[in-house]
Amino acid sequence: MAFSNYVCPVCHGKGSFTEQTGREEWKTTICDYCDGTGKVKAEVDIRWKPDYES
Ligand SMILES: [Zn+2]
């Protein structure tokens, strides 16, 4: 079970970060939270247990 197609909260959907490292130098880092896709999904595991209470 997965909830997909969420915008990555770390890079806000950009997929990478660009930072200025020098006067004319820019360094692009791929977002490892979404692996550069800009989107994330939540995988949910449901655990079934004996239902003693009901
Ligand atoms: Zn991201």
pLDDT-derived band at 54, boundaries 50, 70, 90: confident
Cα(46) to ligand 1 centroid in Å equals: 26
pLDDT digits (tens, 9 = 90+) for 4-25: 999 999 999 999 999 999 999 9
Residue position matching structure tokens 């930072």: 19
Give the per-residue pLDDT at 35.
97
pLDDT-derived band at 1, boundaries 50, 70, 90: confident
pLDDT-derived band at 53, boundaries 50, 70, 90: confident
Cα(10) to ligand 1 centroid in Å equals: 5
Cα(17) to ligand 1 centroid in Å equals: 9
Cα(53) to ligand 1 centroid in Å equals: 42
Residue-averaged pLDDT of the chain: 95
Neighbours of 31 (CB within 10 A): 19
Cα(45) to ligand 1 centroid in Å equals: 23
pTM strictly above 0.75:
no
DSSP state at residue 38: S
DSSP of 6-36? EEPTTTTT-SEEEEE-SSS-EEEEE-TTTTT
